[in-house]
Structure 1
Amino acid sequence: MRFLVTLAIALVAACTPRGAMVLVEGVDGSAGVRQVYFATTRTPDETGFDIYGSGRQEHSSYGRFDISVPPDHTTGDITYPGPDPDPTTDFVATDRFTYATARAFQTALQQDLRTRPDRSVVVFVHGYNSTFGEGMIRLAQLSHDFDVPGIGVHYSWPSLGNPLGYSYDHDSVLFARDGLQRLLEQIADAGAREVVLVGHSIGTLLVMETLRQIEIEDRGEASRIVDGVILISPDVDIDVFRSQVSRIETLPDPFVIFHSRRDRALALSARLTGQNERLGNISDVGRVADLDVTLFDVSQFGQGLNHFPVGDSPALLAVLGSVRGLGSAFEGDLSGRTGLLPGTVLTLQNATQIILSPGTVLR
């Protein structure tokens, strides 16, 4: 049975074209260019497919790409460049900057932050079976579709980029904790006023392990350097998640979990690990009801594997993008702020669950 599940993952993934960072000069950026900084513990890609590959290195490499959004981009859609990249249809890089040292990276980030009134940073941690380019382009797409005003920083850990590399990716997550901690500390030292940490799939395990590690070193530090956390389709064992949270004195606020009972990728992951469910496809939210978290049930959205509805579903993006004042809705008693929230609100001890639906009427 395990072989059949693994084969199913491989067959589904094999139908999907892979993404890489491709630099194309002279691109008209009228449709929008997103600057995406990065730190990575991947080694350079020796195959020539991408800028960085799947090998592991203890030190981090730093840089920035300016990524062009195709002029006819459809919300929620990503088109990776092929052998003959077309900027009118594909996400491509228009410029590249390399920072030789961590200090140079931090200085560049500091100078950029000084030009922005909000001085906010969104750090994105990609998930399983991801190439360097796919994570970069995903952050550019999310920044564009949500019109994120802050600076986008991608932390690219060394995923094998292969559907059969789950064990390698799991070990790479543990390997990459120090690199993510260094990046978060560098962002804080650069003068960021607000830092939101976003993780997807098994990348959420890296997020939680890093926050736990920071907290063990300095009690209360996690919530001082990270202001908000968003876990998208978290591929994390629920008991492990509870253990991680228990070591954190105060969770960053807001602390948001997007979950879907229809997440086929997590259903397969749960079977591979001998469990009934993962945090990202939890059915009994009572298992985390005592935690100070907000759960968005997006089971009615998504397509295909339903493993990234927040980025792939135009309907869900429209719902979330239309909400005004959503950030303030996480402050205080949510039960009295239902008019700000796009769905049915359930209060479960300390946790709050918001059940979204395509027919939700926004106010």
Structure 2
Amino acid sequence: MKKIYLSLILLVIGIQSCFCQTILEGIILQEYIPANFSVPTSGITVLLKNTSIGTVTDSEGQFSISVPDSIMDEEIILVISAIGYTNVEAKIHLTNDIHRVRIELIDNEVKVEVEKLVGSALLDTKGISTVYFATDRNFVKTEDPWEMFGVNRSPNLSYGYCRVSIPIDHRMGELESPNIWKLELNFDPNKHIVLLETKVNKKSDYFKMLRDSIEKSTEKKAFIFIHGYNVSFADAARRTAQMSYDLGFTGVPVFYSWPSKASTLKYTVDEATIEWTQLHLKSFLIDFLSQTNVQNIYVIAHSMGNRAMTRAIASLINEKPQLAKKIKEIILAAPDIDADVFKQEIVPSLTKGKHPITLYASSDDLALKASKAVHGAPRAGDSGNKLLVVKGVESIDATGMDTGFLQHSYIGDSRTVISDVYSLFKGLRPNERNLLRIKKTSNLFYWKFRL
């Protein structure tokens, strides 16, 4: 028997003019019973009934439909057709709010569940996301939100929030920027993810704002993103907003920005700085956990950012175990950490806290291959010929998931990986997540994405 799962995220962005529209995005997976595994399904047609509006799922099972405002207050009927299946209809009645819709198709029977989303991470009616930050970059006195924090170190942390635009036709996994081939020279909020405002707050005001925002969120949750090497403050803000949007995150999104030089030629400088910032990150985590009412916090670090994140959390677990219990998940994406150091020193310290720990690694990651060449030792995020699999860590082989130049940023660029993180945020372990299949090595299990 076959069944199709259709998971949708419906985001409504502003009802302000006749040009406004609703973007309906989703992924279709085909599950095989009783083998109990799923693969993205391409070539499935999704149409709005009685219209010519529709699309076909791509190679990752993804689709996007623009729904006219004229039918938003009426019953939306999706017609799903695929070879080997009878056409099925899914009736959805939505108002102009933000919803997540899950449609389950089993044979010819349809089950629809609609959940209204609330939370500060979602867009306001102008398509703008608010993300909070803490940084130990130097403050620059300027009105330009992109240049307010530089690339040099500051002895003190600064706090505040950023407002970031998400274009109405945003596609999951894309950090839209000007494209020279499209003759785009400048950022346009209607087309690109743009940092519109950077606002600095006093520490006391900042944590009050966080408490108020977390109180309004579902499950009193937040995620903190720590970026990697060669990243500016502005790009860290943009990436955080994009990930929060793509994950449909209903809590409070926060990023910690350390003073990366934002230059490919400054790798060794960034290495020294990421070690320097560890105490600041630890201090921020302590304040965040103790001065807010957060109950569930997800910590995600990318690349070199994992060096500070793992050390800071390990120290927190050792010194303040009660505070550390508020950490729901620890996610290491493409960690640029010596594999032996990670296995022998970091893992034993992190696993003392008994938090779920997820490691995403890839053998295609050219940035980590370069790091291996520089250091003369494999990196924890480079699966190479042998993925790093250790007890207490859920290792995910993301090889093949990133088609970018360096294949290093799949945590934000790959729709499949984003979909997996979404399931992780819902509390599903790897054996419960449809996109993964189990593998075994040296009597330990790891998981690999289905291609």
- Normalising by structure 1, we get a TM-score of 0.80
- Separation in 2, partners of 1:252, 1:158: 31
In the alignment, does 2:400 pair up with 1:309? no
Q: Is the 8 A contact 1:35 1:66 kept in 2?
A: yes
Picking from 104, 118, 122, the partner of 2:205 is 104
Q: Cα deviation per residue 1:65-101 (whole Å; 9 max; x = unaligned)?
A: 121101121221113478743111122244443212x
> Following superposition of structure 1 onto structure 2, how do residues 127-276 of structure 1 map, counting pairs within 5 Å?
127-189=228-290, 190-218=292-320, 220=321, 223-242=324-343, 243-248=345-350, 250-275=352-377
Q: How does 1:316-355 map to 2 (within 5 A)?
A: 316-317=417-418, 319-320=419-420, 327-330=426-429, 338=431, 340-346=433-439, 352-355=445-448
1:90 maps to a residue whose letter is H
Q: Is the 8 A contact 1:65 1:97 kept in 2?
A: yes
Deviation at 1:181, TM superposition (A): 1.2
- How far apart, in 1, do the equivalents of 2:186 and 2:152 lie? 26
Residues of 2 paired with 1:43 and 1:295: CA distance? Answer: 36
1:57 paired residue number: 154
SS in 2 for 1:355: strand
SS at match of 2:270: helix
Q: How far, CA to CA, are the matches of 2:351 and 2:371 in structure 1?
A: 30
Q: Secondary structure at the match of 1:231?
A: strand
**Residue type of the alignment partner of 1:58:** P
Report what 2:135 is aligned to.
Answer: 40
Q: Which residue of 1 aligns with 2:192?
A: 90
Q: What is the CA–CA distance in structure 1 between the aligned matches of 2:447 and 2:406, rounded to whole Å?
A: 22
Q: Of the candidates 386, 395, 398, which is equivalent to residue 298 of structure 1?
A: 398
SS at match of 2:231: coil
Task: Tell me: higher relative CO, structure 1 or 2? Use CA pairs within 8 A at least 6 residues apart.
Answer: 1
SS of the residue 1:279 aligns to: coil
Specify the structure having the higher radius of gyration (Cα). Answer: 2
Please tell me whether the aligned partners of residues 173 and 413 of structure 2 are also in contact (alpha carbons under 8 angstroms).
Answer: yes
Identify the range of structure 1 (90-99 vs 59-68) with the bigger mean alpha-carbon deviation: 90-99
What is the one-letter code of the residue matched to 1:268? A
Alpha carbons 2:383, 2:397 under 8 Å: kept: no
CA drift at 1:124: 0.2
The answer to whether the Cα contact below 8 Å between 1:31 and 1:70 also exists between their aligned partners in 2 is no
Counterpart residue type for residue 398 of structure 2: V
**Which protein is richer in helix relative to its size?**
1
Give how far 1:250 is off: 2.2
Aligned residue identity for 1:164: L
Paired amino acid for 2:135: T
Which residue number in structure 2 is paired with residue 356 of structure 1? Answer: 449
Gaps of 5+ in 2: 1-122, 179-183
The amino acid of 2:436's aligned partner reads: G
Distance 2:325 2:443 in 1: 21
Could you tell me which residue of structure 2 aligns to residue 11 of structure 1?
none
Cα separation, 2, equivalents of 1:248 and 1:350: 21
Determine if contact 2:195/2:238 at 8 Å carries over to the other structure.
no
Q: CA deviation at 1:254?
A: 1.9
With the length of structure 2 as denominator, give the TM-score of the two structures. Answer: 0.65
Q: 1:46 & 1:266 partners in 2: Cα distance?
A: 36
Q: Please list every run of 5 or more consecutive structure 1 residues that lacks an aligned counterpart in the other structure.
A: 1-27, 359-363
Distance 2:124 2:218 in 1: 24
Checking the alignment, whether the CA contact within 8 Å between 1:294 and 1:351 is kept in structure 2 is no
Taking a change above 3 Å as real, the CA distance of residues 247 and 32 of structure 1, as seen in their structure-2 partners, is: same
Q: Give the secondary structure class of the aligned counterpart of 2:154.
A: strand
Change in CA separation of 1:356 and 1:92 when aligned onto 2, cut-off 3 Å: same
How far apart are the structure 1 equivalents of 2:190 and 2:310? 38
Give the structure with the higher percent strand: 2
Aligned to 1:78: 175
Q: Classify 1:106/1:261 alpha carbon distance in 2 versus 1 (closer, same or farther; 3 Å).
A: same
User: 2:65 matched to which residue of 1?
Assistant: none
Secondary structure of the residue aligned to 2:131 is strand
Distance 1:293 1:350, change over 3 A: farther
Bigger shift: residues 340-349 or 137-146: 340-349
Q: Distance in 1 between matches of 2:445 and 2:389?
A: 10
Aligned to 1:12: none
Q: Please tell me whether the aligned partners of residues 325 and 353 of structure 2 are also in contact (alpha carbons under 8 angstroms).
A: no
SS in 1 for 2:381: helix
Q: Which amino acid aligns with 1:273?
A: H
